[in-house]
Amino acid sequence: MESTDDKLVERCRSGDNAAFDALVKRYQRQVFALCYRTLGNRDEAADITQESFVKAYHALGTFHRNRSFLSWMCAIAGNTCIDALRRRARRPSQSLEETVERAGDFDSGDESPEQTVASEDFARRLRQAVLGLPERYRDVIAMFHFGQAGIREIARRLGKPEGTIKSDLHTARRMLREVLEGMEAV
């Protein structure tokens, strides 16, 4: 019988590390997808995913039952990604090898170098826009687009009606469109 997230968290708080392993297995794919979409680099996303779960483990005492574990986990991962992006910005410029490796993360093989740069720029702007959304909308966008969860699944995880999730998703997309259009105008 599969335990609910709340039961697994309670078991973790009681010292049952296997319960946390179950949570990691349950949500690792979605958290990795969020980190990869935010950072654009598989290795870095894997590292940040692991770091996010470690942070979550140490912060289990702050988890509230009225919030979904995935939503809470995505907030931790999103903040950890922001920290990684800040660290990246402070690093000296990349070597040619790192630049080529990073470009390979986005390269579909069909794009010209100009299209690849435009795709990377759009991905960067999209990451900024998603991370700038209020938590309510960021969580829905992350679960739907990056975690590939459906409306019904998101509603179940967040404990909200499907209509509310649809409305939040619509609002989040509108907000993203406005932010992205504002970025293009600059």
Q: pLDDT tens across 109-139, in order?
A: 555 566 555 666 666 777 777 778 887 888 7
CA 174 to chain centre: 19
Confidence of residue 99 (pLDDT cuts 50, 70, 90): very low
Q: Is 102 within the bounds of a domain?
A: no
Question: What pTM does this model have?
Answer: 0.53
Q: How many residues does the chain have?
A: 186
* DSSP string of 10-40, one letter each residue: HHHHTT-HHHHHHHHHHHHHHHHHHHHHHH-
- Number of structural domains (the chain) is 2
Domain boundary among 60, 92, 124: 92
Check whether residue 8 and residue 82 sit in a common domain: yes
Judge whether residue 24 has pLDDT over 70.
yes
CA distance 37 to 178: 20
Please check whether residue 104 lies inside any domain of the structure.
Answer: no
Residue 83 forms part of a structural domain: yes
**pLDDT, mean of residues 4-17:** 90
User: Domain check: are 86 and 123 in the same one?
Assistant: no
Instruction: Tell me the Cα Rg of the chain.
Output: 18
Domain around 33: 1-92
Going by pLDDT thresholds of 50, 70 and 90, the confidence category of residue 186 is: low
- Taking the C-alpha atoms of residue 158 and residue 46, their distance in angstroms, rounded to an integer, is 25
Question: Between residues 105 and 66, which one has the greater pLDDT?
Answer: 66
Q: What is the mean pLDDT of the chain?
A: 78
Range with top average pLDDT, 51-65, 88-102, 113-127, 166-180:
51-65
Same domain, 74 and 120: no
Q: How many CB atoms within 10 Å of residue 125?
A: 15
Residues 6+ apart with CB under 8 A from 57: 12, 20
- For residue 159, give the H/E element and its range: none
Residue carrying structure tokens 């739907």: 144
- For 22, half-sphere exposure in the C-beta direction (CA atoms, 13 angstrom radius) is 16
Same domain, 66 and 7: yes
Helix (H) or strand (E) holding 44: helix 42-58
**Nearest alpha carbon to residue 49 among 19, 84, 20:** 84
User: Which residue's structure tokens are 């296997």?
Assistant: 18
Give a yes or no: residue 98 inside a domain.
Answer: no
